[in-house]
Amino acid sequence: MHEVAKGLVGVIVTETTASMVDGSAGHLTYRGYAIEDLTAHASYEEVAYLLLHQRLPNRRELTEFQEGLAAEMTLEPYFVEVMQRFPKNSHPLTILRTLISITGVYDATANDNSLEAELRKAYRLIAYTPIFTAAWARIRQGLAPIPPDKHLSLAASFLHMHTGVNPTPAEIAALNVYLILMADHSLNPSTFTSRVVASTDSDIYSAITAALGALKGPKHGGANEATMEMFMEIGNPENVSSFFTEQVKGNGRKIMGFGHRVYRTTDPRSVILRHHTEALAKSLGNTHWFDIAAGLENLALADPYFTERRIYANVDYYSSVLLYMLGIEPNLMPLVFAIGRMAGWVTHVLEQRLENRLIHPEALYIGENDRIWVNLEDR
């Protein structure tokens, strides 16, 4: 037995063929395909298929996959009823986590861990997450949810369900790129969590519910929300410099959307997102939020504190601006992260099942020993 670093820094605990993160080179691949190629050419559905089925689909397979997702695209009335009872100010990720858990309650095959049953549940989870997210965004405002359009892509369908307005091709393309970039990222905290749960032979809904719990924190999937809130606090491009000097340098505040456990160079997803965020901002004729983000990034890139520690913008930095320009409120952003990551989570649950060994590490006991029992009345 040997002790490892706190936070499991640099520890390899399992094998995967889903994605490869090269933190020194700043390189990310899914099943061997570079994210640069996938975001340039693929739909989110193709990438989800690639992760789940280990290879790119041909035309017929993609159509069948889309039909399989469409077959799961419903918003059952009991979900609407329960959402209408939830407190409107609950964190939306708490709502999504609860709805995914409830999905397991209503699935008679929830405890069937065979590959066939798990694949159908994986499709359901991928299809349901954008529906739940859009429905909650509307129900919390007292609006009726908009039913999913089975003929649209997942990105287009989500945007339509969210606002009721037909999204533009530029908006659909931007969200498609974002969802692809979120689809998988090796053994990040939420994916690790899902694999721990799956390793006990528990059901997939339990694994994904637990993953959503891990995602919520601002060190992980909650970072896009915290990043957008930081940009809103800055307010104007003219305030970036004073924010950096007073808050970051003077007050020791972290730049949200910066830093990463694995990347010791630029997060390759952030490079792609910066490009698409700027393009979307220009196409909308409003670069206000992009200018704030780019201004702060430029200051950090020129500061030895950040360069010496190799702290760069991560995936949540520009994506917060991109999602905001798509009309998504900050506290809904972690749910959109979850829409993309769902393909990765379910893939890892299936991978864990293939060659499962219970994940059960140990802790080094550092507490007191040989304490003498004292009766309650004598304490």
How many residues interact with ligand CMC (rule CB under 6 A)? Answer: 20
By CB under 6 A, tell whether 280 contacts ligand CMC: no
In the complex, least distance from residue 224 CB atom to ligand CMC, rounded to whole angstroms: 8
Query: Does 270 participate in binding ligand CMC (rule CB under 6 A)?
Result: no
Please report whether residue 53 would count as binding ligand CMC according to CB under 6 A: no
d(CA 76, CA 178): 27
Within 89-148, which residues bind ligand CMC (CB under 6 A)?
none
Task: Assess contact for 240 and 329: CB atoms under 8 A.
Answer: no
Of 162, 260, 276, 348, the active-site residue reads 260
Site membership for ligand CMC, residue 258 (CB under 6 A): yes
Kindly state whether residue 260 participates in binding ligand CMC, applying the rule CB under 6 A: yes
Cα 325 to Cα 94, 159, 163, distances in angstroms: 24, 12, 13
Q: Does 249 contact ligand CMC by CB under 6 A?
A: no
The three-state secondary structure class of 76 is coil
Q: Of the residues 160, 184, 316, 348, which is catalytic? A: 316
Asked if 316 is an active-site residue, the reply is: yes
Q: How far is CA 369 from CA 109, 363, 372, 378, in A?
A: 47, 16, 9, 20
Q: Which of 104, 259, 268, 295 binds ligand CMC (CB under 6 A)?
A: 259
Nearest to 206 by CA among 100, 302, 325: 100
Contact 215, 93 (CB under 8 A): yes
Map the footprint of ligand CMC across residues 4-43, applying CB under 6 A: 7
Q: Is position 264 an interface residue for ligand CMC (rule: CB under 6 A)?
A: no
27 is catalytic: no
Q: Burial, 32: exposed, middle or buried (Cβ in 10 Å; 0-12, 13-18, 19+)?
A: exposed
Tokens of 238: 């003219």
**Residues constituting the chain:** 379
Contact map string, positions 281 to 320, toward ligand CMC, x by CB under 6 A: ----------------------------x-x--xxx----
Kind plus residue range of the DSSP H or E element containing 30 = strand 27-30
Question: Which of 70, 99, 135, 223 touches ligand CMC by CB under 6 A?
Answer: 223
Which are the catalytic amino acids?
Answer: 260, 316
